[in-house]
Amino acid sequence: MNSLFSFWLILSVLFSCTWSQHVERKKRVVGGHPLIAGEWPFLVSLHFRPVHPFTNRTKMRHLCTGALIDPLWVLTAGHCFDGNEYSGLNKKSNWVIVLGEHNQYRRESWEQRHRIRKYFQNPQYTARPLLKDLTLIKLKKPATISDKVRPIELDLTGQCTPLGTEVSVAGWGQVAYSPFGYGNFLPLKTTVWVSNKTECVENYSIVPDTDPDKAFYEPEDEGVLCAGAAGVKDACLGDSGGPLICNHDDVLKLTAVVSTGYDCGNSTFPGLYTRVDVSRRWILDTMANN
């Protein structure tokens, strides 16, 4: 995984240089297999309507992934709505929230397209380093619950964060860090494991200071979860905001969201995810008061 928006590589010279790095940081699933339609009914695709270097290459509107956590609420990454990184990301009218999305090139009968009433970026969010990387989206109308569209429970107590816990991630991102702009039209899912925090911090410390991406990484922060695998498995360009899921006592729970990381599928550098339990008070208060 590469920093922030792991999305769009240096090819963004045509756009904002800052955003190109952010987008480069976006994540996409590496080493995964396609989900069956409805297998993860909480998985959400965030479509960005204006021209963007990544969507211009993929010919899809998908820019970020998210998760339905309530009929009215979607959780995604904070940097997906960072207008300082790319013009228009912070305008709610530029987004369409697609529930039940499966094939990006086809509109299925069960899909639900929603507009945003309001969104709330975590007030502690920072882009450099990328921390508290969460945004809550309130939909204009509640989702219609079905076998293809259904909320997921949040892991608000960190039950799924101990070392070695098996977790899964899915999204419509790239299957490799390059070539840039080749997203998946079907969502891919892969399994990773919660990594040793100390080793994660040590490994990220070897990223050269001259690498501009290093500014995004701070794995030692309490809100950052490291997760990876020995093989080529990871989130990668374009999966930002996607849910990291664990099965706790036969109940699927969202424990973190895709944030950033160095390269894709590199076992030396686990993916960096934003824990939801560390921001539980903000999540619960925001939903209750809005």
The pLDDT tens digits of the residues spanning 130-144 come to 999 999 999 999 999
In the predicted model, what is the mean pLDDT of residues 276-284? 99
Whether the pLDDT of residue 198 is over 60: the answer is yes
Element of type H or E holding 272 = strand 271-275
For position 288, what pLDDT does the model report? Answer: 99
**Per-position b or e across 28-39, b if 16+ CB within 10 A of its CB:** bbbbbebbebbe
In a domain, 148, yes or no: yes
In a domain, 107, yes or no: yes
For position 21, what pLDDT does the model report? Answer: 37
Residues with catalytic roles: 79, 133, 240
In the predicted model, what is the mean pLDDT of residues 220-242? 76
In a domain, 151, yes or no: yes
CATH classification at residue 84: 2.40.10.10
Number of domains, the chain: 1
Whether the pLDDT of residue 176 is over 60: the answer is no
Q: Give the residue with greater pLDDT, 55 vs 289.
A: 289
The residues, any chain, with a CB within 8 Å of residue 204's CB and separated by 6 or more, are 217, 219, 262, 269
Q: Which of 260, 239, 253, 177 is nearest to 46 (CA)?
A: 239
In a domain, 3, yes or no: no
Which residues on adjacent β-strands are paired with residue 188?
A: 34, 171
pTM comes to 0.87
Biggest distance spanned by C-alpha atoms of the chain: 50
The pLDDT tens digits of the residues spanning 83-136 come to 998 999 999 999 999 999 999 989 999 999 999 999 999 999 999 999 999 999
How far from each other are the two terminal CA atoms of the chain, in whole angstroms?
Answer: 34
Whether the pLDDT of residue 45 is over 80: the answer is yes
The token pair that represents 44 in the structure block: 């959400």
Whether the pLDDT of residue 162 is over 70: the answer is yes
Q: Which domain holds residue 75?
A: 10-289
In a domain, 224, yes or no: yes
In a domain, 4, yes or no: no
In a domain, 225, yes or no: yes
In a domain, 195, yes or no: yes
Pairing of strands 153-154, 251-260: parallel
